[in-house]
A and B are shown apart, each in its own frame.
Chain A
């Protein structure tokens, strides 16, 4: 499983480096931003990291402002955001969470706590990826079912089906191509009596006739 990417945004080089080293040691692929504007650019650009740690107080956009912008922007693959704060009052924490952050960590960060909280984020992100994949494959299956439900032109005699390219296909081929269904060929009791049994009887007659010829 490839390591998840994490953005660490903090204007203090010391804090940024320490937090980055903790996450690298825990197996994450870390990139850095040195202010809020840079963080926003990275998170709103193509292929953003799935997890971001944002310092509360940064030049340019502050952490909670970046969170608000990201939340207004990232409907498809929500980024898991942790705010880094030395503000410990519950009013501040509520502000950060209301802005849309998933969690917060107080600075200076304790390594075990920081890594544990980022690991929670990683689990959420992996779950989101797995769910998105599941939804995608269900939608694909549903599209196939819909294709089968539409009105099919079928030959009244040989039962061939006219496909979208105006070409007559055997019913087996048509269903195999549209739904992945495979057929094994057999016969029902009625057809056994109508078709198979007369053929077997005829075969027996021929064999009997040959035996008699040889015995002569």
Chain B
């Protein structure tokens, strides 16, 4: 069984295709924005979870689904959706393992991005 790619190559290619002629690469810009913006959102989610605030967990997870989906980070997107669901349900009893999975997925995506944009 092959391991699915951290970042969906089809999504990356379609982002590259958005670059207007003679302008900086949109793919690079978007990946850099991800590195700059997303870790703070993960931290917000973590402190919401630590504080037992299901509504804030849902909000943070929801905002992460958008960023993860847009760069084709399929694994990360899956974890964010689950956190979105548990937050919406208001039951954080199983959130610990999801938060750990979120950290692991984010680390994979970050190292993949760094290897892509240098």
Contacts and interface: CB of A to CB of B under 8 A. Distances in A.
Contact of B70 (A15, A25, A55): A15
List the 7 shortest-distance A-B pairs measured between CB atoms, nearest first: A108-B69, A21-B18, A14-B67, A15-B66, A13-B33, A12-B66, A18-B70
Given A57-B59, A57-B63, A14 B20 contact: no
Interface of A: 10-15, 17-18, 21-22, 24-25, 55, 57, 86, 107-108, 111
Contacts of A11: 63
A108 B30 contact: no
A12 B42 CA distance: 13
Contacts of B59: 57
B20 A25 contact: yes
B8 to A, nearest CB: 11
B38 interface: yes
Nearest to B64: A12
Contacts of B98: none
B105 to A, nearest CB: 15
Given A24-B18, A86-B66, A111-B18, 19 more contacts: A12-B66, A14-B37, A14-B38, A14-B66, A15-B66, A15-B70, A17-B26, A17-B29, A18-B70, A21-B15, A21-B26, A21-B30, A24-B20, A25-B18, A25-B20, A55-B66, A107-B65, A108-B66, A108-B69
Most chain B CB atoms below 10 A, which of A10, A14, A21: A14
Interface string B20-56: 1000001001100110111000000000000000000
Contacts, number: 57
B95 interface: no
Contacts of A55: 66
Nearest to B26: A21
Contacts of B63: 11-12, 57
B81 to A, nearest CB: 9
14 contacts: A12-B37, A14-B30, A14-B33, A14-B66, A14-B71, A15-B70, A17-B29, A21-B15, A21-B19, A25-B18, A107-B66, A108-B66, A111-B14, A111-B18
Contacts of B66: 10, 12, 14-15, 55, 86, 107-108
Contacts of B37: 12-14
Most chain A CB atoms below 10 A, which of B34, B66, B69, B70: B66
A12 B65 CA distance: 10
Interface in B62-80: 62-63, 65-67, 69-71
Given A86-B62, A86-B65, A107-B69, A14 B18 contact: no
Contacts of A14: 30, 33-34, 37-38, 66-67, 70-71
B40 to A, nearest CB: 11
Nearest to B37: A13
